[in-house]
Amino acid sequence: MSTLGEIPEIRDNIKSASVNAVKALHKIVFEEDAGRQNRGNLRKFPGFNFGVDSDEFKDKVAYVEQNIPLADLIAACNVIKLDYSGEKPTLIRRICMALSNLENLIAENEADDADEDEQSDLEDEVEEEDQQAPVAAPQRFILSFRDVEDSLRTFDGKSSYPVERWIQDFEETALLFGWDDLQKLIFAKKSLRGLAKIYVQSETNISTWGKLKKKLKSEFGKKINSAKLHQILRERSLRKDEDVHEYFLSMRELASRGNVEVEALIQYIIDGINDSLTNKVVLYGASTLHEFKKKLEIYETIRTKTTPPVTKVNRSVMPTGQRSTSAEGNKSSPRKC
């Protein structure tokens, strides 16, 4: 009787796969996480002892459907060298059928190896024919979520970071790394936190990035009332603990939640700076945010130079006579009746 460990490529995959991928496959097979024993248990696994038409097979499919998310199913497919295309129900049935008959799994792997050898021979022939005119093929870099985690901002469903803005930021990152739809779906789900993560876990049939994006927009894309947004901008002012640049970026982010004209945003920013009109006059006249940012830099320089330093009197170094005089001056003179 064959086991997963007797299939060379699957044995190597079990050894080198990530902890999460191995744990996902172990939960599919044994319906539990055995920690450090996961890899050893999988190598010894001889396949399910039930057929695809049995009640046990139906129970296994139901368990996987309820407990294993799509991303983990894809990871498990990679370990046992299965095609991971299709929606979640298709993947579940494909995995369970493969694990019910390891002989078929061995045959599929041998067929894949034969195809790869044939393709390799064909590539060698083509390479020999094209030696006089070589063409450099672009390299494809395989990136894990850990590699790009720092480049992705998480989304928790709170209004402080609108879902439209998160989707825009995420798609810019996806374009930069050249992700396909499946990678977008997996990395986007891994970037969800809090309420957004709970919501997506409660939904079914989210098998593409387009579907996930549509669901998130539908649930969290509540546009802020225009009047309320203008009120927030009007009441926001430069705080003592932030510099002008931080204040500018904060106001611009607030304005991005709705349709606020550039001229109106600039005026709100100027009004929120508590300073004399003489100092702020340099801020007027900009018609774009780029121009206004340059004026803010000039204003910051002027503001730094004109703000008087705050000096504190150190009474410990004052002359003795001056301290006593000061102290006496603070005492109330006795009242004469």
Q: What total of structural domains would you count in the chain? A: 3
Q: Which amino acid is at 50?
A: F
What are the pLDDT digits (tens) for 39-78?
A: 999 999 999 988 888 999 999 999 999 999 888 888 898 8
Residues 207 and 188: beta-carbon distance below 8 Å: no
Asked whether residue 130 is assigned to any structural domain, the reply reads no
Report if residue 202 sits inside a domain: yes
Structure tokens at 84: 């991971």
pLDDT above 70 for 147: no
Give the rounded percent of residues in the chain with a pLDDT score beyond 90.
36
**Residue span of the structural domain in which 32 resides:** 4-109
239 and 199 within one domain? no
pLDDT in tens, 270-315: 999 999 888 899 999 999 999 999 999 999 888 887 765 555 555 5
Token pair 């006579």 in the structure block, residue: 321
CB atoms within 10 A of CB 269: 24
Check whether residue 8 and residue 105 sit in a common domain.
yes
Check if the beta carbon of residue 34 is closer than 8 Å to that of residue 41: yes
Region of residue 141 (left: phi > 0; alpha: psi -120 to 50; beta: else): beta
Quote the CA–CA distance of 297 and 299 in Å, as a whole number.
5
Instruction: Indicate if the alpha-carbon torsion angle 328, 330, 332, 333 is positive or negative.
Output: positive
Exposed/middle/buried for residue 324 (C-beta within 10 Å: 0-12, 13-18, 19+): exposed
